[in-house]
A and B are shown apart, each in its own frame.
Chain A
């Protein structure tokens, strides 16, 4: 009985936080910050549960690094018209991402992606958000 009571209290606290916590990437990424990367796509991993864009772009010191940008799953990307052929190795792209919370980790959560050569964009229209 005691256990039930304490669970009930814990649940009350938990439920109250659920609205904020739902679909949070806060554990991996600092969702209060943005990082802008301009460089060349080196790998496009179109898969579930999340696709990844890997690109070479300079870090804050100007040194070229290999960045891994987490994107939506294939279903959500497909709904936005994106397929495994939408991006090609060698594409010059501009990515805005949420940076990793781990210092020195070259990782981000996709906010927007642009390919200037043909005007391809993602993240600028309604619903285009990683969740």
Chain B
């Protein structure tokens, strides 16, 4: 009996040892999928339904001067303008919005590895968090409301790293973010409790990352509904569809501290935010022991470089990067300058030709696109009934046994302005193109032996000179077809769609155009729009701040978001990342705010130097400004001031 029991125990021990001897399996991460109910948060007023913090409450936000200025001049109703009213909550606030959250797992059906988590809120897009190790996109890729997220497990905590975010708000009621911030979320499950710690790192508006925590509870009977956006026309009232709500600096000061009348025990200074006010050392200054200015706090600085982020959006690396946009359209980033290309069965059309030094590489990229249109494809059909059969049993036989058709030619060049980045490659690219027009091949005159170059006639006026005078550019670089009205339509479809060139008067110059590809739903915005710099306003060539704003408003009138203020019509800026309506609205809003500030200063009789000293762009300089280079913040302010002064 004892022997038998001893043997049994031995067998069990051996079997157990054998099991342990197998290769160790990765422990399964905690299952965070399911429905979760928002339990608590730390925002005053945001707990419960439809609450908002009071205007001017920046407690706990490590604002810098730019962030504070932006918060104090931003009206909450900016988020209810037509371009924004259907947006989701922006990332720093999303976890605190109403309606709970649903977390889904996307699994490989064979290995059952989690490829991605999908996080959904009542008012959100689907937010995928990729777990498969894929890299984040390049800097010139679009920014989204949810950004682009990757995740990794660290013990019991899922760390989500998000880049490519649109500008938004940290907290409702004023505190804003730039679009250069990154967000890191840490999700930890303890039983039925899910804790989310959110770190918002905005180098433009914050002196150090802003940390929030939010708690959810498993909700077995819950379901995260979708809030359908029934956008109404004109939530902000009035009939001006381009209305940009904002406050002039100093005009809303009393309102910012209105809430303190009911909470007089709260000192004013920490309600203005600032990194020093959120550390324990600050407490001593409230009783008069020391002054805030002399405080030293162990601030953890931002890990995000705004300069690098801007550089990544517009890489000046001497290369051409090709980004497919939508249907026929591609964005070619040529040493930091964007060229738009339409490539299809009728050939290639480019909007602008980049700087002269990039011409050869741009030509190579155009050739690459053109070749891709005629490259062979894998046989997907066998037999005489296959479409396109002309005698072979399969049309793909031609591809297999012979070389493909020659690349389609470059047929059109459209110049959106006379600025060097727009026309630098005209001469060589036009010469490489071909479009039979005017007398067929035009063998006698050379007409039709080049691509057609289209621009507003003021572009040609500035590139050419009357007979006998020296022209600033070679004749072979000049536009061959100009227009003078409000718009110019290519006389026939190109690559299966209408292409319309609109004149934007007195914008960067007097000859600016934007180009609308009507079926692909892409607008090439030219110099009117940039995501990395203030617009270059060349007053000598007829430019003005109002013309740029009008041009941006025109883009917003033409463009339509696909869903929740995102995607849909894509807009290619002269420099910077691929954008959509919300990004154009953000740029338009910034310029409108600066225009109104400078205009107000002019009304008060301030000189140019006084206006510059008042720093009317301080909340946007970290995003778009520059103290060096060919277009500085000082030059921009001067151009705004002078065009408004002239108007007056």
> Which A residues are within 8 Å of any B CB, using their own CB?
2-3, 5-7, 9-11, 13-18, 20-28, 30, 32, 43, 45, 47-49, 52, 54, 65-68, 70, 73, 100-108, 131
Contacts and interface: CB of A to CB of B under 8 A. Distances in A.
A118 B213 CA distance: 52
Interface hub of A11, A14, A48, A104 (most chain B Cβ within 10 A): A14
Contact of A6 (B47, B237, B243, B280): B280
Cβ-closest 8 pairs across A and B: A106-B237, A21-B45, A27-B173, A10-B60, A68-B237, A27-B76, A21-B44, A107-B237
B52 A13 contact: no
Given A2-B298, A106-B238, 18 more contacts: A2-B279, A9-B280, A9-B283, A15-B44, A17-B44, A18-B44, A20-B54, A20-B259, A21-B44, A22-B51, A28-B75, A47-B230, A49-B227, A54-B237, A65-B238, A67-B237, A101-B255, A106-B237
24 contacts: A7-B213, A9-B283, A10-B59, A13-B266, A13-B270, A14-B42, A14-B59, A16-B266, A17-B57, A17-B59, A17-B266, A20-B259, A21-B45, A21-B53, A23-B45, A23-B50, A28-B75, A47-B230, A68-B235, A68-B238, A100-B236, A105-B75, A107-B237, A108-B237
Interface stretch (B17-25, B245-253, B417-425, B509-517): B245-253
Given A20-B262, A21-B259, A52-B232, A26 B77 contact: no
Given A17-B54, A66-B238, A22 B48 contact: yes
B13 to A, nearest CB: 45
Contact of B76 (A15, A28, A54): A28
A3 B232 CA distance: 43
Nearest to B283: A9
Given A2-B298, A11-B42, A66-B237, A23 B54 contact: no
B238 to A, nearest CB: 4
A70 B245 CA distance: 16
A54 B174 CA distance: 25
Interface string B35-72: 00000001111011111111101011000000000000
B345 interface: no
B239 interface: yes
B258 interface: yes
Nearest to A18: B44
A101 B54 contact: no
Contacts, number: 155
A10 B43 CA distance: 11
Contacts of B278: 6, 9-10
Contacts of A45: 230, 232
A26 B227 contact: no
B172 interface: yes
A40 to B, nearest CB: 15
Given A22-B51, A105-B77, A14 B44 contact: yes
Contacts of A131: 49-50
B211 interface: yes
Contacts of A28: 75-77
Given A5-B280, A28-B77, A100-B77, A105 B237 contact: yes
B263 interface: yes
Contacts of B235: 52, 68, 70, 107
Contacts of A23: 45, 48-51
Contacts of B238: 65-66, 68, 104-107
B227 A7 contact: no
A79 to B, nearest CB: 14
B234 to A, nearest CB: 6
A102 B247 contact: yes
B75 A101 contact: yes
B261 to A, nearest CB: 10
B310 to A, nearest CB: 29
Nearest to A101: B255
A125 B59 CA distance: 36
A106 B525 CA distance: 32
Given A30-B255, A49-B50, A101-B75, A54 B279 contact: no
Nearest to A45: B232
Contacts of A7: 60, 211, 213
A52 B236 CA distance: 10
Interface string B198-239: 000000000000010100000000000001001011111111
B227 A48 contact: yes
Contacts of A66: 234, 237-239
Contacts of B255: 26, 30, 101
A15 B263 CA distance: 12
A109 to B, nearest CB: 11
Contacts of A48: 227
A101 B44 contact: no
Contact of A26 (B47, B54, B247): B54
A123 B287 CA distance: 46
A25 B173 CA distance: 9
